[in-house]
Amino acid sequence: MTTPSGSTAASDVKPKVEHDDTDEQWAQTISMAVLQTIDDKKDEASKGLTPDPFLGKQSDTCHFLLNLELYFAMNPVKANTDEKKKMILLSLVKGGTGEWKIRETMRLFPEDDDPETKKKAAEETWSSFKQRFRNEWQPVNVVREAQMKIEEIKMKDRADEYVNRFHLIAMDTNEKTFRK
């Protein structure tokens, strides 16, 4: 059997294949998005957890503020302005602190369109806001409360544990008399 003469010519002709870059581009875009998402998740995990909410318990005031400062240090982008720090603190205030939270939120975001009022709200520093928070929620008689805690400490474990608890109480009070 002989093949028609046209078939030999057809074998020499190669079909024109257009190289479609769109599939390759899509694959690259998707893989880059997946890698970026994984990196973002790693960043979120490495930044630590958000501090526990403050429920209005006076004895938790100092610990709450310390945890908040640690969170700010670990998340400098999220807390790079005084206003952001105030908003984060207000978002973590829960429980029996409702009236204070509303009052401070209204102070931070005044409904009044008066530019002078808004300027005054924006000028308050994080330090002064934190001090007002402390004044509102820290125990009135810090020294007496520390004395009561010291009296309640019992030496159950090793001596260094006892000393550590004492130092924590001293830190809570910010009293120089407890420190060396």
Distance, CA of 35 to CA of 148 (rounded, Å) = 54
Distance, CA of 42 to CA of 31 (rounded, Å) = 17
Domain that holds residue 85: 53-138
Amino acid in the structure at residue 164: N
Give the confidence band of 10 by pLDDT, cuts at 50, 70, 90: low
- DSSP 8-state assignment for residue 128: H
Q: What is the pTM of this model?
A: 0.56
Q: At what angle do helices 142-152 and 159-173 cross, to 10 degrees?
A: 170
pLDDT over 80 (residue 92): yes
97 with 144, same domain: the answer is no
154 with 119, same domain: the answer is no
Q: How many CB atoms lie within 10 A of CB 129?
A: 19
176 with 128, same domain: the answer is no
Q: 39 by DSSP, 3-state: which?
A: helix
Residues 78 and 58 sit within 8 Å (Cβ to Cβ): no
Per-residue pLDDT reduced to its tens digit, 29-59: 777 777 777 766 655 555 668 899 999 888 7
73 with 144, same domain: the answer is no
